[in-house]
């Protein structure tokens, strides 16, 4: 399992003047006609942080929780250097983890769809080459491809991704669709 993206949100405790921030921070992009938030990209950790007038912050592109913390902390410090006072320590909440995994063998998606039943899966190969598998526990969505590769989205913690992958592999083994 490899985490590809951690999306997290936070709040800086105050309203923000996005025009002032755009003019104060190198690399900040703000085009309110296209998008209501300001995009601030960091090189280390390589993330994009969306800042909104309300003070809400969304960090995307991080590979782990520690990188999210570093990114949000860096943004808050950069705002302070630009003269924008941040009086709280931002509380960070993970919204979504996107991860990839590989079952290590090819899978016949038609057989998987028929065997596992339509209440758990969606498979329309004319529209999308992957099978959409919705799990209730953990509450995630897994895209399964015929190559055996998977993309898991919706997890809040990395162990949920591992549980989802293990659960799908066990289910496929139990019905003889995987060795």
For the residues 13-29, what does the mean pLDDT come to?
95
pLDDT in tens, 30-54: 999 999 999 999 999 999 999 999 9
Given a cut of 90, whether residue 145 has pLDDT beyond it is: yes
Considering the chain, what percentage of its residues have pLDDT values greater than 70?
100
Structural domains present in the chain: 2-94 (3.30.310.10), 103-174 (3.30.310.10)
For the residues 151-165, what does the mean pLDDT come to?
96
pLDDT in tens, 47-96: 999 999 999 999 999 999 999 999 999 999 999 999 999 989 999 999 99
Q: What is the secondary structure of the chain as a DSSP string?
A: -EEEEEEEEEE-SS---HHHHHHHSTTEEE-TTT-SSEEEEEETTEEEEEE-TTSEEEEEEESSHHHHHHHHHHHHHHHHHTT----S----EEEEEEEEEE-SS---HHHHHHHH-TTTEE--TTT-SSEEEEETTTTEEEEE-TTSEEEEEEESSHHHHHHHHHHHHHHHHHTTS--
Given a cut of 90, whether residue 165 has pLDDT beyond it is: yes
For the residues 123-129, what does the mean pLDDT come to?
96
Whole-structure pTM value: 0.90
| Distance, CA of 3 to chain centre | 9
């Amino acid at each position: 399992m490899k985490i590809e993206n951690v999306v997290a949100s936070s709040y800086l405790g105050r309203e923000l003047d996005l025009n002032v921030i755009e003019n104060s921070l190198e690399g900040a992009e703000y085009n309110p006609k296209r998008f209501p938030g300001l995009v601030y990209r960091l090189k280390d950790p390589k993330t994009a942080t969306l800042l909104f007038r309300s003070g809400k912050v969304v960090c995307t592109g991080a590979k782990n929780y520690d990188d999210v913390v570093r990114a949000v902390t860096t943004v808050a410090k950069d705002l302070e250097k630009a003269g924008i006072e941040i009086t709280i320590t931002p509380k960070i909440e993970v919204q979504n983890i996107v991860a990839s995994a590989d079952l290590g063998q090819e899978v016949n998606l038609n057989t998987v769809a028929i065997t596992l039943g339509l209440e758990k899966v969606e498979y329309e190969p004319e529209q999308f080459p992957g099978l959409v598998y919705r799990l209730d526990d953990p509450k995630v969505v897994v895209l399964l491809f015929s190559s055996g590769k998977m993309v898991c989205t919706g997890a809040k913690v990395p162990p949920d991704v591992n549980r989802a992958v293990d659960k799908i592999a066990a289910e496929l083994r139990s019905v003889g669709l995987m060795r």
